[in-house]
């Protein structure tokens, strides 16, 4: 039986915002970025949640209001990792099969398309030739040079150009879901997941996509967070 896993990597040090955990940045209605991420994953149809964090942030996560709706204590994994990819590899269960489905969302991002997760998992489910599916967002001028932009045709991602202000591709990726067989492309040493996408494509993997009509906000710095707050909340 295929299992659907939702993975959250919340093991960073918060160095870009004075040591504050980015996942705690507040949203309206008493929510925060990480709670919003788990609600999004639940709406996507995730059956098993796993969250990676560090020793400093683990007590915060274990007591954060609302997370007990998604996580049991054993679902919070303490890691000592240097990159997002290393973190993800540390929390992928050892007994998965190549058809199991994984989906990850950055806990320091925000978008309000709560149907996107269902759509990308459904696309992966219905197209067995696909190894992964990306959720794409129309890139805004102020985001050029900050995100990974995707070259696409009518049904496939052809390449990803990372953080190049001269790139003219219209869409950036913000969410990825993949089959267990894709995991071999996720190298610990890579700074983030985007590097695995080009590696997979070069090896012949098939990457699909779904375009969202939502705005996408990367709240990795306080300026980007305030941009999101001033625009949406």
Assign 89 to helix, strand or coil: helix
Structural domain total, the chain: 1
Nearest Cα neighbor of 151 from 194, 113, 101 is: 194
Nearest Cα neighbor of 114 from 39, 32, 173 is: 39
Identify the CATH number of the domain in which residue 99 sits. 3.90.550.10
For residue 135, the enclosing domain spans 4-232
| HEC letters along 90-122 | HHCCCCCCCCCEEEEECCCEECCCCCHHHHHHH
pLDDT by residue, tens only, the chain of 233 residues? 789 999 999 987 655 666 678 888 888 877 899 999 999 999 999 999 999 999 999 998 988 988 989 999 899 999 999 999 999 999 999 888 888 999 998 888 999 999 999 999 999 999 999 999 999 999 999 999 999 999 999 999 999 999 999 999 999 999 999 999 999 999 999 988 899 999 999 999 999 999 999 999 998 888 888 888 888 76
pTM equals: 0.94
Token pair of 89 as six digits: 């590899």
Token pair of 207 as six digits: 């990457």
């Amino acid at each position: 039986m295929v299992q659907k896993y939702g993975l959250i990597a919340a093991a960073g040090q918060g160095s870009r915002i004075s040591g504050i955990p980015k996942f705690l940045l507040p949203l309206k209605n008493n929510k925060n970025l990480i709670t919003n991420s788990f609600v999004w994953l639940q709406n996507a149809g995730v059956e098993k949640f796993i969250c990676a964090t560090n020793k400093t942030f683990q007590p915060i996560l274990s007591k954060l209001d609302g997370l007990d709706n998604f996580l049991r204590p054993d679902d919070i994994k303490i890691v000592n990792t240097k990159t997002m990819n290393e973190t993800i590899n540390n929390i992928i269960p050892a007994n998965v099969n190549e058809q199991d489905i994984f989906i990850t969302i950055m806990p320091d991002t925000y978008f309000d398309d709560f149907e996107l997760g269902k759509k990308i998992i459904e696309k992966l489910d219905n197209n067995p030739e696909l190894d992964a599916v990306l959720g794409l967002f129309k890139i805004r001028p102020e985001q050029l040079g900050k995100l990974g932009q995707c070259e696409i045709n009518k049904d496939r991602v052809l390449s990803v150009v990372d953080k190049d202000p001269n790139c003219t591709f219209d869409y950036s990726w913000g969410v990825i879901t993949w089959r267990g067989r894709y995991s071999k492309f996720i190298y610990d040493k890579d700074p983030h997941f985007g590097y695995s996408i080009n590696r997979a494509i070069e090896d012949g993997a098939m990457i699909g996509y779904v375009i969202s009509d939502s705005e996408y906000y990367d709240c990795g710095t306080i300026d980007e967070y305030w941009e999101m707050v001033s625009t949406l909340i």
